[in-house]
Amino acid sequence: MPQFKDVWKKSLFHFEKRSKFASVQINITPLIDVIFLLLIFFMLTSTFVSQAGIKINLPKAVSGKVLLDDKLIITIDKEDCLYVYNKPVTEEELKLLLVEAATGKKPLLIMADKSSSMGKIVEIWDMCRQQGITKINIATKSK
């Protein structure tokens, strides 16, 4: 009669032979396809994002020159709203900015929509002259 120890050893040995793992390989081709499709999706959707800004339609002129100096840029849209560096400002805030520009001898560029009122442009021009700014330019498009 076999003893319990002998049966136990045989069953363990038999179990060890069957417990060997087969080599498993993961197929990453579908993963690469999904990542490639996500990459294409994000590239296509990111190209349609446009820059935020103020829409103005500049008047055309033949005698326009390119200004390269560091300048204070005042924008007037077709509803006569004032912007400094594309941020809305009130006339009181604009006066304070003009005082700073006058002390720094900064030139000024007025970008006015061609449908904005001439009275608003002249008013801004007068404010600049009162603060002592002598280099005042008006932005135009070349013909």
Task: Indicate the domain borders of the chain.
Answer: 4-46, 60-142
Give the per-residue pLDDT at 37: 94
pLDDT tens digits, one per residue of 105-138: 888 888 888 888 888 888 988 888 888 888 888 8
Q: Are 95 and 127 in contact (CB under 8 A)?
A: yes
* Among the ranges given (15-24, 30-39, 104-113, 117-126), the one the predictor scored with the smallest mean pLDDT: 15-24
Mention the CATH class of domain 60-142: alpha beta
pTM over 0.85: no
Write the DSSP assignment of 107-125 as a string of letters.
Answer: -EEEEE-TTS-HHHHHHHH
pLDDT tens digits, one per residue of 59-90: 777 666 666 667 888 999 889 899 998 889 99
